[in-house]
Structure 1
Amino acid sequence: MNKFLLLNAVLLPLLVSSCNDKKEESPVEESISHFNRISSYFVCEQIDANCNDDSETSAEIVAASTDGMTLIYTDSPMDQIGFVDIADAHNPQSLGVLAMNGEPTSVAVLNDYALIAVNTSLDYINVSGVLNVVNIQSQQIEHTIDLTGQPDSIAVSKDGKYALIAIENERDEDLGDGAPGQLPAGKLVVIELTGEPTSWVASDILLTGMDMLFPTDPEPEYVDINSKNQAVVTLQENNHIVIVDLATKTVIDDFSAGFVNLTQIDVTDEKPHNIFLNDSVMQIPREPDGVTWVDDTHFITADEGDLNGGSRGFTIFDISGNVVWAAGNELEHLTASFGHYPDKRSDAKGNEPENADVGVFGSTTYSFINSERSSLTFVYDMSDLSAPKFKQALPTAVAPEGVLALPERNLLIVASEADSRGDKFRSGLNIYQYAVQEAVYPSLHSKIESGKAPITWAALSALTHDTQDSDVLYSINDSFFASNKIFTINTATIPAVITGEVMIKDTNDVLAKIAVEIDDMADIDNVFTADDLSELINADKTINIDPEGLVQSEDGGFWIASEGNGTINEQARPIKSLNMLIKTDAHGVITQVVLLPKSINDKQLRFGFEGVAQSNGQLIVTFQRAWLGETNARIGLYDIANATWKFVMYPLDAAESQAGGWVGLSDIAALGENKFLILERDNQSGFDAAIKRIYEIDLTDVKDGDLITKTLYKDLISELAKTNGLIVEKIEGLAIDNNNNVWINNDNDGVDDNSGEHHLINLGQF
């Protein structure tokens, strides 16, 4: 069994057994129970079972039939809703779609009906909307109610007497400075659900004139209803919260969502990127988005932010508006610890909590907080509302929006709205089961200590073992980040822990001095210059390279394979750096730089160095793809003592993906006796992924120019499918530890157009 499908020791100390997804048939022992993703359903499956379609879809808000067997989600880009059969939650099935004649914004369920709020507005001034009442069984619209405005959220009361809809009438963000104060004003619509849908009665509740930032333009965002038929409503842009009594259709209280002070966060979007959790901001408005009741007197807000705010966390309020607990910087530190911190959003709203739900599983109340930009759902134990306890983080598809707890089936559903086949992610529904089981995500994290910021990491591109300690691996971040680092990973704990980081530095100007060699290559068209080289070295002597390969050297230092930037004679991609082998000491200080021969640099394409291994006095480096005028990818063999190169050619597999794309090499690891494992992959993910393979090669007595042969060691597709999400694209790390365990990991692209999922997997002994 995969080592990282064992117990998450940080979150739970013991594995007992799994349980069926029907709570009533299998009691849950809460102290040793967790949520794990058991399946995913992607909206593109409604179009083609293999998602061989480029249409942009979305799963934004999700609700369930009263028996919990059918999911109904809103698909805004397609102006439709979709139905999914989850009778077998491990194997969700398409049930079709239904056109809404407008943009569906939210969904709630009452008995046999799905109530769909639909935006039919012509523009920001000529606003309109309807409530479509859909028979879930027949998948037909049975009745339509005019809402006289652009709707957002909808909720149905627990007793089935009322539906409440937030009529946002959102502002035009391109008008003037994009601030509110733009009419028509938003409002609430309450619908009395007596009798058949044709007899339901709608009434308006006005929200203007209250003591808030923009009293003429409330823009209600999200609603939820407690068992007393009191509704909590967020007015995000106004940083305001309203409590409404549905029976009397009156506002019974309103108050500011308040402000927060944050420390140890990152508020700067550096280019190239860097995560520095050392900033502070004062008096930031919460500007909450999603809201959910915990009980009849307490509710949670997901403090996403919009105009000027966003506390990067969530808040527990009592019904009078008093803050019972606030997350502070906790979600920022958790996302950083799990490698999910979205550094491109540092200058905006960080991880950006979007929505929340609450459910009682067993006898424990849990809250579920969707983090839109980090693509995580945070689970908290709410037993003590003054001190909720973080339990675990769940990986989601990109940009989770809707979240739905189904305690009656021990299930949690998260809907993620972002979809881009070209960027290798799809919108869909992730399904998690609460059971007596270990938490299997994350497989890697950095330690969080009280009062301290965690080691920050993401975009790991290589993997290697420690030559002395069988429990230690090393990895490195790629060019997404400036000031490249080598990370120490302790695999003796589960999940594995990043215990240290070493900054790579050109303290002795070794890298800087190769400018002389660059001048000698001046006859190479478009080759990078000394000025380009200076961009690789920062003022503090840290460096900005593209580390794609890493191996520990015999002296305790490291060899790094840095991929070049640019393609020879291509104006659109001028060469900004060459491919280099860089030697450091154990402290990350550069001691040597090795360049390719000029004749090879003449062929440079942007798909260069990817992996490096060391064996018998040689460095063996993989080139990702074939270079200019060549058919096969190169493997370079560099004799360290004699400073000489020779090259053999590697026959890449032909592309097999339904989406086409390319196939290239990634990492390489030494087996001994001139034998190696080599990682080969395509540039596809999910349904489109076809080639994620490890081959064995033998470089004994090879000659310069030889075309080598390869033997399949392991096809990784089935292993990667065990995550029950999309198969990740960039399997880029490969290592063999001293116990002959084979390890792989993936590059999560710094959570840029990526869910951020990172998997460190032990494939077992070679």
Structure 2
Amino acid sequence: MNNEYTIVPLLMSALLLTACSDGTSGQNGSNTLVKMSTLSIGNEQCAMGGQLLQSGLDVNANGVLDESEIDDAQSQTVCHGQGATLKAELVGRYQSEIYGLSAAEIVDFDPLSKQVFVINAKSGKVDVLNAADIDVTDAVSGSGALALNNIVKTTDIDVAADVGLTHLGGVNSLSVYGDLLAVAIERGDALGNSKQANGFVAFYRINDAGETSFLHAVEVGALPDNVTFNRNGSLLIVANEGEPNTAYSLDPEGSISMIAIKENIPATTATAIGFADFNKGGAREGELDPMIKINGPNASVAQDLEPEYIAVSEDNLKAYVSLQENNAIAVIDLKDKKIESILPLGLKDYGLYENRIDASDKDSRINFSAYAGVYGMYQPDTISSYQWRQTNFIVTANEGDARDYDGFSEEARADDLNLDPSHPQLDAAQDKTQLGRLKVTTSMGDIDNDGDVDQIISYGARSFSIWDEHGNQVFDSGSEFSRITAAVLGDNFNNNNDENKGDSRSDDKAGEPEALAIGKIADQYYAFIGLERTGGIMIYNITNPFSVSFVDYVVNRDFDTDFEIDSDTGEVKGDASLAGDLGPEGMKFISANDSPTSQPLLVIGNEVSGTTSVYALSF
């Protein structure tokens, strides 16, 4: 128990002892009553929350301390200290009962109607969930958390029907600001390419009841994968990933689209920002760092760069866009609407003790080792931004991703590589219980261009990182994610999300940190990082980016349940409903001011289990 809590029962005892031994006190023998109330996080007197203890005489003898009977002189406020530990408790959950087909991905929240909007890629629609009745006193754990289904779906939004064009595909992202909802939808072409044509952003107006009315759609770039409003709602920013088709015969350019919002009305056209100036022979070719991975067959730089996710700086001047496959971040000047720079993220050295990894799913044990000459690309998926001392910092969830298509694949195992004879892992790379099964790229690592591999380079960094606005890393969680899950879950660490098979992802990207949200609670910044494969969320205090601390690992998954999910067909063997939440894909932090419970919340969309979970955050 934290010291700041021990004073509560002591104060209550002292106040209760003011009554006489025969149960009477004060005038006319009235009893002294004590009332204890919870102060929410963000309270004027207690930033971290606390307890308000009020006492007074029960003059009317009704057994209740009425407002008129409270003696302010005897009231006590007991605040939680700054050292209080943040805890996350499951208080709400919606089960779509659709498994393995991404029925719950990106999420956002409307504070006015208290509705959660969820991308349902399976249906191609947006599910609308009612969060107004969530009660933080209904927190559950254990088997109760696995079975919880207390949030109701009120309706859904058929974006393709509203846009009304041919060849529209799945919805990929959404964002809420004020009473505006923006939804990204991809589009294919008449030749059978499913998502290589220009996509659209559909805008909706949300009323106080959470009902939406379609406004209009705006054409953007190919495969709009993420949308976000800037900090004052005057601009919507779209990351158009521009993925190639399966045969790699059509590779659209990646781009950024910007849609102005004036007087709360979205424009009908977008401003396009491309990367053609960085192509060979382009005006900015010399700015492209050689560490940025450009490896698509016959692809220009503009075709190869694939914008993934957007974070807007707190000062509203910059947008940071993750280029996951390229292991880089693009910095966008929002005032001038231009690309300011492309930041290379470099390699993570798995030869360092603090970065040690378990690289095999065939070793039948938890085995963390440091491997000199082995590296990981950071390749962030979700990114976010916050400020410390009026300076912008970028936070990344370092998932990793390979280009693996029918027409081109860079993916191999370490034992497939033609290593330089002097490589320190020459023997370990041929041992499947060490490095042999590690998934690696064939597009990088030949430093001296002599035809053999000098560096073994894998995907992702199995961590989250903090970078300054110039791309310098100031923090990385090293091997903590895997070591924490190994300590908590034992042999189930680095488990996959489609079945309980123990250590089945160490050879790939381990737990795969993908989802990310930042929340400010009582002047402290917290990062919430979802592990796509293993499940659960890591919580870190990142208030000072140079003094980051681990807070907790929260997971709602039963690793003893016998189930198997086919993510291509949605077929389920066993009872996946008993497995819990699988595959956290998107997160939304809700501040106490916006929350239906007056307490901070965290909403998580879990794509494999098709569930949407809501956690109450408290001290």
Shorter-chain TM-score above 0.5: yes
Task: Tell me if 1:356 matches 2:516.
Answer: yes
Q: Which has the larger radius of gyration?
A: 1
Task: Tell me if 1:275 matches 2:366.
Answer: yes
Match of 1:638 in 2: none
Match of 1:100 in 2: 159
Task: Tell me if 1:152 matches 2:204.
Answer: no
Deviation at 1:363, TM superposition (A): 1.7
Distance in 2 between the 1:13 and 1:259 partners? 45
Distance in 2 between the 1:32 and 1:149 partners? 47
1:412 to 591, 596, 601: 601
Q: RMSD over aligned Cα, in angstroms?
A: 2.9
1:39 to 72, 91, 94: 91
Match of 1:337 in 2: 487
Superposed CA offset, 1:128-185 (max 9, x none): 311111222322322111114211011111111111110001234x547xxxx96211
Letter of the 2:184 partner, please give it.
Answer: A
Q: Residues 56-205 of structure 1: matches in 2 within 5 Å?
A: 56=101, 58-67=103-112, 69-90=114-135, 92-101=151-160, 102-122=169-189, 123=193, 126-137=196-207, 138-172=211-245, 174-175=246-247, 183-195=251-263, 197=265, 199-205=267-273
1:387 to 547, 553, 561: 547
Secondary structure, counterpart of 1:152 in structure 2: strand
Deviation at 1:54, TM superposition (A): 7.7
Distance in 2 between the 1:153 and 1:330 partners? 28
Q: Residues 367-516 of structure 1: matches in 2 within 5 Å?
A: 367-396=527-556, 397-408=581-592, 409=595, 410-419=599-608, 426-436=609-619
For residues 142 and 325 of structure 1, do their structure 2 counterparts lie closer, same or farther at Cα, with a shift above 3 Å needed?
same
Match of 2:401 in 1: 306
Distance in 1 between the 2:154 and 2:41 partners? 22
Deviation at 1:337, TM superposition (A): 1.4
Letter of the 1:306 partner, please give it.
Answer: D
Deviation at 1:56, TM superposition (A): 5.0
Deviation at 1:360, TM superposition (A): 0.8
Match of 1:265 in 2: 357
Deviation at 1:121, TM superposition (A): 2.5
Distance in 2 between the 1:292 and 1:236 partners? 14
Checking the alignment, whether the CA contact within 8 Å between 1:166 and 1:222 is kept in structure 2 is yes
Deviation at 1:332, TM superposition (A): 1.3
Secondary structure, counterpart of 1:228 in structure 2: coil
Deviation at 1:18, TM superposition (A): 9.5
Task: Tell me if 1:291 matches 2:291.
Answer: no
For residues 14 and 434 of structure 1, do their structure 2 counterparts lie closer, same or farther at Cα, with a shift above 3 Å needed?
farther
Secondary structure, counterpart of 1:335 in structure 2: helix
Distance in 2 between the 1:56 and 1:283 partners? 32
Distance in 2 between the 1:15 and 1:348 partners? 50
User: How many pairs were matched up?
Assistant: 409
2:274 to 190, 206, 209: 206
Letter of the 1:221 partner, please give it.
Answer: E
Which is bigger in relative contact order (C-alpha 8 A, separation at least 6)? 2
For residues 326 and 96 of structure 1, do their structure 2 counterparts lie closer, same or farther at Cα, with a shift above 3 Å needed?
same
Task: Tell me if 1:250 matches 2:338.
Answer: yes
For residues 14 and 305 of structure 1, do their structure 2 counterparts lie closer, same or farther at Cα, with a shift above 3 Å needed?
farther
Match of 1:230 in 2: 318
For residues 358 and 55 of structure 1, do their structure 2 counterparts lie closer, same or farther at Cα, with a shift above 3 Å needed?
closer
Superposed CA offset, 1:108-130 (max 9, x none): 11211111111122426742311
Deviation at 1:429, TM superposition (A): 1.7
Checking the alignment, whether the CA contact within 8 Å between 1:43 and 1:59 is kept in structure 2 is no
Letter of the 1:130 partner, please give it.
Answer: F
Q: Residues 529-548 of structure 1: matches in 2 within 5 Å?
A: none
Superposed CA offset, 1:507-555 (max 9, x none): xxxxxxxxxxxxxxxxxxxxxxxxxxxxxxxxxxxxxxxxxxxxxxxxx
Checking the alignment, whether the CA contact within 8 Å between 1:35 and 1:432 is kept in structure 2 is no
For residues 67 and 196 of structure 1, do their structure 2 counterparts lie closer, same or farther at Cα, with a shift above 3 Å needed?
closer
Letter of the 2:84 partner, please give it.
Answer: I
Distance in 2 between the 1:18 and 1:41 partners? 27
The more displaced of 279-288 and 360-369 is: 279-288
For residues 201 and 128 of structure 1, do their structure 2 counterparts lie closer, same or farther at Cα, with a shift above 3 Å needed?
closer
Checking the alignment, whether the CA contact within 8 Å between 2:584 and 2:606 is kept in structure 1 is yes
Checking the alignment, whether the CA contact within 8 Å between 2:463 and 2:478 is kept in structure 1 is yes
For residues 364 and 54 of structure 1, do their structure 2 counterparts lie closer, same or farther at Cα, with a shift above 3 Å needed?
closer
Distance in 1 between the 2:510 and 2:6 partners? 34
Secondary structure, counterpart of 2:175 in structure 1: strand
% of aligned pairs identical? 22
Q: Residues 358-757 of structure 1: matches in 2 within 5 Å?
A: 358-396=518-556, 397-408=581-592, 409=595, 410-419=599-608, 426-436=609-619
TM-score for the superposition, normalised by structure 2: 0.61
Superposed CA offset, 1:445-476 (max 9, x none): xxxxxxxxxxxxxxxxxxxxxxxxxxxxxxxx
Distance in 2 between the 1:246 and 1:299 partners? 16
Match of 2:307 in 1: 220
Distance in 1 between the 2:540 and 2:322 partners? 22
Secondary structure, counterpart of 2:482 in structure 1: helix
For residues 85 and 284 of structure 1, do their structure 2 counterparts lie closer, same or farther at Cα, with a shift above 3 Å needed?
same
Match of 1:517 in 2: none
Distance in 2 between the 1:232 and 1:291 partners? 8
Deviation at 1:21, TM superposition (A): 6.7
TM-score for the superposition, normalised by structure 1: 0.50
